[in-house]
Amino acid sequence: MIAGIIGGTGQMGRFFAGVFQTAGWETVVSGRRTELTNRDVAEMADLVLVSVPIRATAEVIREIAPLLSEDQVFCDLTSLKVEPVRAMLASRAEVIGLHPMFGPGVASLRGQTIVATPARCSQETLDTLLSVFREQGAEITISTPEDHDRMMAVIQGLTHFVTLAKAEAIRRTGTDIAESLHFTSPIYRIEMGLVGRILAQDAGLYGDILQMNPAVPEVLARFEEAVLALREIVESGDADRFQEFFAANAAHYASYLVSATEETDDLINHVVSGR
């Protein structure tokens, strides 16, 4: 079997080429400067996997979709699923959207989650593909493109927005980061670690995740309301209102509070012991 990876010179493309090679597949790759073109790869491969930046994905899929036959499988790794899956369905191929919920720095698939959104394929094709990932230790979550993108608006969109908004707010306070770390508590260090981690990476992926998911503005509107409501309660100085706000949220998260505390205790102990 041949896996053809379009964007196979990029970070995730290289990682998944390794995954298919480990599973005994032959791989062929294209980038913008490779000898093989996207079209060559689309014509050679049994399974075509698109792994290009989110903004370029629909165009690249549209370029190769007419070349694919019903005997081929069309997949992508895009962090959003509605638009790429819709574009892949314009081909005659079997279509399975994928979103790895990790970055290219992981050592292997062990313990990592991949969301799969099968859109047009036989059970056999789906099982064959997913067994490549499962046999290397990945967990698979099956979803639809729509549910995936709504979930990602919270899981990635809101999370990255809050982290970046916090970075900007701290910058606006004029706080010196190095100096602040001398006053650090373990939680501040972990949260600043997340700020530093995102800012050390390429802006493009985060911009695309925030700007290209149509479900993000709705989630950000709820966040803005929450910020204004909480700010008003804080500035009111009214302890009862703060208790009420806190209790409403503790009730909403009730089933998660014990495991959240245990997991973050582990993280804190790790941070403290590493200093």
By CB under 6 A, the residues from 205 to 224 that bind ligand NAP are 205
Query: Which sign, positive or negative, has the C-alpha torsion 174, 180, 181, 187?
Result: negative
Nearer to ligand NAP, 62 or 270 (CB): 62
Paired tokens of 218: 């709705």
Residue 160 or 233 having the CB closest to ligand NAP: 160
Check residue 52 for interaction with ligand NAP (CB under 6 A): yes
How many residues bind ligand NAP, per CB under 6 A? 25
Task: Count CB neighbours of 220 within 10 A.
Answer: 17
Rounded Cα gap, residues 118 and 143, in angstroms: 8
Give the whole-angstrom CA distance, residue 29 versus residue 10.
Answer: 10
Contact by Cβ (8 Å): 84, 78: yes
For ligand NAP, which residue of 4, 7, 118, 157 counts as binding (CB under 6 A)?
Answer: 7
Which of the ranges 9-17, 123-131, 145-153, 233-241 carries the binding residues for ligand NAP, by CB under 6 A? 9-17
Is position 100 an interface residue for ligand NAP (rule: CB under 6 A)? yes
CB of 29 to ligand NAP, least distance (A): 8
- Among 23, 25, 46, 53, which residue interacts with ligand NAP (rule: CB under 6 A)? 53
Query: Using the rule CB under 6 A, is 10 a contact of ligand NAP?
Result: yes
Nearer to ligand NAP, 126 or 198 (CB): 198
31 touching ligand NAP, by CB under 6 A: yes
DSSP class per residue in 79-144 = S--HHHHHHHTTSSSEEEEEEESS-TTSSSSTT-EEEEEEEE--HHHHHHHHHHHHTTT-EEEE--
Q: Which helix (H) or strand (E) holds 151?
A: helix 145-152
Residue 255 burial by Cβ neighbours in a 10 Å radius (0-12, 13-18, 19+): exposed
Q: Which stretch binds ligand NAP (CB under 6 A): 98-106, 112-120, 231-239, 257-265?
A: 98-106
Q: How far is it, in rounded angstroms, from Cα 132 to Cα 37? A: 25
Q: Which range, of 30-38, 116-124, 126-134, 177-185, touches ligand NAP by CB under 6 A?
A: 30-38
Site for ligand NAP in 32-51 (CB under 6 A): 32-33, 38, 51
Chain contacts with ligand NAP (rule: CB under 6 A)? 6-7, 9-13, 31-33, 38, 51-54, 56-57, 60, 77-79, 100, 103-104, 205
